[in-house]
A and B are shown apart, each in its own frame.
Chain A
Amino acid sequence: MALGPHVRDDFPLLQRHIHGRRLVYLDSAATSQKPRAVLDALLRYYQESNANVHRGIYRIAEEATAAYEAARATVAAFLGAGRPEEVVFTRGTTEALNLVAATWGRTRVGPGDEIVLTEMEHHSNIVPWQLVAAERGARLRYVPVTDEGRLDLEAFDRLLGPRTRIVAVTHQSNVLGTVNPIPRIAERAHAAGAVVVVDAAQSVPHQPVDVRALGADFLAFSGHKMLGPTGTGGLWARYELLEAMPPYHGGGEMIALVEPDRSTYKAPPHKFEAGTPNIADSIALGAAVDYLRAIGLEAVAAHERELTAYTLERLREVPGVRVLGPLDLRDRGGAISFTMDVAHPHDVAQVLDGEGIAVRAGHHCAQLLHRRFGLAASARASLHLYNTTDDIDALVAGLYLVRRVFGRAPHPAADPR
Chain B
Amino acid sequence: MALDDLYRDVILDHYAHPRNRGRLDPRDITAEGANPLCGDELTLFVRLDGDRVAAIRFEGRGCSISQASASMMTEAVAGKTLEEVRALVDAFRAMMHGGAPAAALGDLVALQGVRKFPVRVKCATLPWVTLEQGLDDAAAGRPATTVTTDTRE
Binding site for B on A (CB under 8 A): 19, 343-347, 350-351, 354, 361-363, 367, 370, 375-377, 405-407, 409, 411-415
Contact = CB atoms under 8 A, between A and B. Distances in A.
B63 A344 contact: yes
A354 B64 contact: no
25 contacts: A343-B63, A344-B61, A344-B62, A346-B63, A346-B65, A350-B3, A350-B6, A354-B1, A354-B2, A361-B38, A362-B37, A362-B39, A363-B39, A376-B39, A376-B41, A377-B38, A405-B7, A406-B15, A406-B64, A409-B16, A411-B15, A412-B21, A413-B18, A413-B60, A413-B62
B126 interface: no
A354 B21 CA distance: 29
B38 A350 contact: no
A412 B22 CA distance: 11
B2 to A, nearest CB: 7
B54 interface: no
Contacts of A19: 1-2
Nearest to A370: B39
Residue of B2, B38, B63 with highest tally of chain A CB at under 10 A = B63
Contact of A376 (B21, B38, B117): B38
Interface in B30-47: 37-41
A376 B35 CA distance: 10
A19 B62 CA distance: 26
Contacts of A370: 39
Contacts of A347: 63-65
Given A376-B61, A406-B12, A413 B39 contact: no
A370 B61 CA distance: 14
Residue of A344, A345, A362, A367 with highest tally of chain B CB at under 10 A = A344
B67 interface: yes
Nearest to A375: B39
B93 interface: no
B62 A351 contact: no
Given A346-B120, A350-B6, A350-B120, A413 B67 contact: yes
Nearest to B4: A354
Given A345-B63, A414-B61, 16 more contacts: A346-B38, A347-B64, A347-B65, A361-B38, A375-B39, A376-B40, A405-B7, A405-B12, A406-B12, A406-B15, A406-B16, A407-B16, A411-B15, A413-B15, A413-B60, A413-B61
A363 B15 CA distance: 22
Contacts of A405: 7, 12
A354 B60 CA distance: 27
B71 to A, nearest CB: 10
A21 to B, nearest CB: 10
B129 interface: no
A343 B11 CA distance: 13
A345 B39 CA distance: 10
Nearest to B39: A376
Contacts of B3: 350-351, 354
Nearest 10 pairs between A and B by C-beta? A376-B39, A344-B63, A354-B3, A346-B63, A377-B39, A413-B61, A413-B67, A347-B64, A347-B63, A346-B38
B88 interface: no
A343 B64 contact: yes
A19 B3 CA distance: 10
Nearest to A348: B63
A377 B36 CA distance: 10
B13 to A, nearest CB: 10
B123 interface: yes
Given A346-B38, A361-B38, A406-B12, A412 B61 contact: yes
Given A413-B67, A414-B61, A362 B2 contact: no
Contacts of B16: 406-407, 409, 411
A407 B17 CA distance: 11
Contacts of A361: 38
B57 to A, nearest CB: 14
A384 B2 CA distance: 29
Contacts of B37: 362
Contacts of B60: 413
Interface in B109-143: 117, 120, 123
A320 to B, nearest CB: 15
Contacts of B7: 405
Given A350-B3, A350-B6, A362 B38 contact: yes
A47 to B, nearest CB: 36
A362 B123 CA distance: 13
A361 B62 CA distance: 12
